[in-house]
Amino acid sequence: MKSTELAKRFARVLLPLVIIGAGVVGMIILIEGVKKPQPRSIERVIPLVEVLEVQPAKSQLLVPSRGIAQPRVQSLLTSRVRGEVLEVSPVLSTGAFFKKGQLLMTIDDKDYKSALASREAELARAELALQLEVKEGEVSRKEWERLMKTEADPLVLRIPQLAEAKARVAAAEAALAQARMDLDRTRIIAPYDGQVDQRLVDLGRFVNVGTSLARIHGIDAAEVRLPLLDSELAFLDLPDNLVETGGIFEGPVVHFTAQFLGRPQQWRGRIRRMEGEIDPKTQMVYLVARIEDPYNQRRERGRTTLPMGLFVQAEIQGSLEEGVIVIPRKALQREGEVFVLSGMGEEQKLQRQAVHILRKQGEEVIIGGGLEAGDRICLTPIDSFVDGMQVKTNQTLGAKR
């Protein structure tokens, strides 16, 4: 019994020691079996970049703006006589086109025909009275000369009476001319080729002098007011003295674009004048461009109608700059900086180079200084740039400009 208890106690003490020993031996074996890592050299990655060799060239500067197409001539037709509207032409409908001299509306002219007949009668009476006065004056002169040897008195010769008769004829002629004008004004005639914006009266309406009849506009030309900063005027070829030109001149060409009829459209115009004042709120200068024949009445191929009220984008042709360098916009790594390559072969390195930006035009940047002919610039974006970093280039990439 005692021997059995002794064996159990021995087993309780010895078994944990055996397990711990076995674990220590196993760990030693594992540690000895692990291979030590061998040191490796880290390969340096040299970035491959796209290169552009630049050359000076001529470049046409473009000044962007925008505006709304408006008719060159807009009119509000008003009545200059009283009467009932008897006739309205079909072309006097909103959106309809008309020709110069076309009858648009007729106002009742009965009263004006009657007034014209009265004025004609008055003129006839005045002319008769003038003829009688002339004859009486001649008779009075002959009688005086026959009977008297002294100079005749003006009253005897009826000179004042003759002057009065002539004045009555002149007044009658003026009244007759006015009557004729009033009669003509009962027929509303189109003053130019145009389009109707809105008809304001209809058949049967009684109108007075000054009643608005219709709003119309001409279709010979359209104008667009283009706001520009004063600094941008330096890039445009404008007259130095606007007073000498009378404010009207043949300025730079303007190319207009807009979305119309479901696709992009283009029109061509010219700057014709500059408004006299700078906008006090925006400090903008307004140039006015004219587009001839906006409705394409000449039916030129490739052109479409320019509707009034359309919002258009404009590019004004500026001065032609020589000796500038044109680079892609992506070549600007930072505002006013490019990366220039130096060295050849395996020793090509990048350096920062500040440049003078003359203008940005679409995807191009015009450089006015900071680069020389033959300089090679990097077109590839580099996030972690360090001055003097080594790069390699593919000589097939890039192109001379």
Q: First-to-last CA distance in the chain?
A: 109
Name the pLDDT band for 399 (thresholds 50, 70, 90): very low
Q: What angle do CA 293, 299, 301 make, to 5 degrees?
A: 110
Residue 28 pLDDT level (bands cut at 50, 70, 90): confident
Q: Output the CA–CA distances (angstroms, integers) from residue 323 to 59, 124, 341, 345, in the order listed.
A: 8, 82, 21, 29
Query: Residue 105 is inside which H or E element, if any?
Result: strand 103-107
* 48-49 and 392-393 beta bridge pairing: parallel
List 59's β-bridge partners, or say none. Answer: 321
**Residue 185 CB partners (closer than 8 Å, separation 6+):** 79, 80, 81, 107
- The whole-number average pLDDT for the span 387-401 is 63
Q: What is the pLDDT of residue 400?
A: 41
SS3 content of the chain, % helix, strand, coil (to 5): 25, 35, 35
Query: Which pLDDT score, from 0 to 100, does residue 57 have?
Result: 87
300 vs 209: CA distance, rounded Å: 43
Alpha-carbon distance values, 171 to 123, 273, 377 (Å):
8, 45, 87
pLDDT grade for 182, boundaries at 50, 70 and 90 = very high
In percent, the amount of the chain with pLDDT more than 90 equals 42
Distance set, CA 246 to CA 250, 277, 288 (Å): 12, 16, 15
More confident residue, 133 or 367: 367
pTM confidence score: 0.70
Contact yes or no for 138/125 (Cβ under 8 A): no
β pairing state of 311-328 and 253-260: antiparallel
Least confident range of 173-177, 233-237, 283-287 = 233-237
Per residue in 299-342, pLDDT (tens digit) is 887 788 999 999 999 999 988 888 888 989 888 887 788 989 88
In the predicted structure, residue 395 carries a pLDDT above the cut 90: no
Alpha carbons 354 and 373: distance in angstroms, whole number: 15
Within 13 Å, how many C-alpha atoms sit on residue 199's CB side? 18
Q: How confident is the model at residue 48, as a pLDDT?
A: 82
Amino acid 203 reads: L
Q: How far apart are CA 76 and CA 80, in angstroms?
A: 12
- Residues 357 and 51: their CA atoms lie apart, in Å, by 20
pLDDT at position 389 is 82
- What is the rounded average pLDDT for all residues in the chain? 85
Helix axes of 110-147 and 159-184: crossing angle, nearest 10 degrees = 170
Pick from 196-205, 224-233, 264-273, 377-386: least confident: 377-386
Residues in Cβ contact with 173 at an 8 Å cutoff, skipping those fewer than 6 apart: 123
| d(C-alpha 52, C-alpha 158), whole Å | 102
Q: Is 389 helix (H, G, I), strand (E, B) or coil?
A: coil
> In which band, very low, low, confident or very high, does the pLDDT at 2 lie, cut at 50, 70 and 90?
low
| Residue 17: predicted pLDDT | 67
pLDDT digits (tens, 9 = 90+) for 122-176: 999 988 988 888 877 677 677 666 666 666 666 666 778 778 888 999 999 999 9
